[in-house]
Structure 1
Amino acid sequence: MNQENRPGEWAKARQLPSPNQDARPQNEVSLLLLHAISLPPGQFSGDAIEALFTNRLHPGEHPFFAEIAHLRVSAHLLIRRDGACVQFVDTDRRAWHAGRSLWWDPALSEWRSRLNDFSVGIELEGDDVTPFTRAQYAALVEAVGWLMARYPNVTPQRITSHAKVAPLRKTDPGPAFDWAYFRQQLTLATF
């Protein structure tokens, strides 16, 4: 890993900057959004996710890629099936991951939109039906611990899924994600 990481770069992640990012309008980070992605759908490994988040996805390599190659999206972190982590966007900057979505902020007692402005997006390599790996949960817990230490407003209660903030459009990380196990591991972790 790079020994000269900036504060918003996780030292345990391989850095692969995405152009799909910009400045946070208010420098606020108070929400973690969990996602799941596999490219092509249902297939794991390969470099298609990295290509998508860096605008290098070739539409001719798979029929599904032709449908999504035009998208300009990113996430802060991607956790692979083996637990390896890739960081596309410094967490102090805004990644383009949430899309149209709403979240009830209990601290403000109001609905909030423009979630990219104040959230960190973590993608897990997976889909709605394939169980996530223990290595992924371990890496996720470690990443969340780092994020909670960096951003005091981020607490376990401020971690949610893409499905909950965009229920009519998204299902991820889906029923295959074991929220009880994740929260148990987060509680047991010593940071």
Structure 2
Amino acid sequence: MASTQDFRNGLVLNWKHDLWQIVEFQHVKPGKGGAFVRSKLKNVRNGKVVDNTFRAGEKVETARVERRDMQYLYQDDLGLHFMNTETYEQRSLRADMVEQKDFIKEGSKVIILVDAGTEEPLTVELPRQVDLLVTQTDPGLKGDTATGATKPATLESGATVYVPLFINEGDLIRVDTETGDYTTRVTAA
């Protein structure tokens, strides 16, 4: 059991007969009445996000979850296949369990949250930003940097994002996996 004082982003709660991860929270002390904690919770099984208010000091049962480093191998009719980077054990997950799967390419590192009691995989966390190669887009023109206009570009993972006009095929770009937006062009080191 944890108190609302123990809340932190990423904590997984066993609440309302399901597992919920704290996305964000805020302790509120109004001038009149008791203090409370306003929170945004995400269901780890289906991705549904809800807002909830807890009374200050309220006890909530926490779930024991483990974060495991995995490597994405490939996708087939059975789903997406991952390998544990420590034990080399392979596991397949249904495609609907993986949010933003369009930004994963073979060999990518991800984190899989696993229920420690049942060994059931709960969710897949991608890195906040990924670097992907542009495989198809309209040619860019010199001087098209200040207009702010965008064009669609297909990436090596199969995802389509909108990029500035100066991006060309073969460019390496950085994409925010939470929003699916272009961030910057990456220069080769």
| TM-score interval, smaller chain | under 0.3
More strand by share: 2
TM norm structure 1: 0.25
Structure with the higher helix share, 1 or 2:
1
Q: Which has the higher contact order (CA 8 A, sep 6+)?
A: 1
Who wins on radius of gyration, i.e. which is larger?
2
- So what's the TM-score if we normalise by structure 2? 0.26
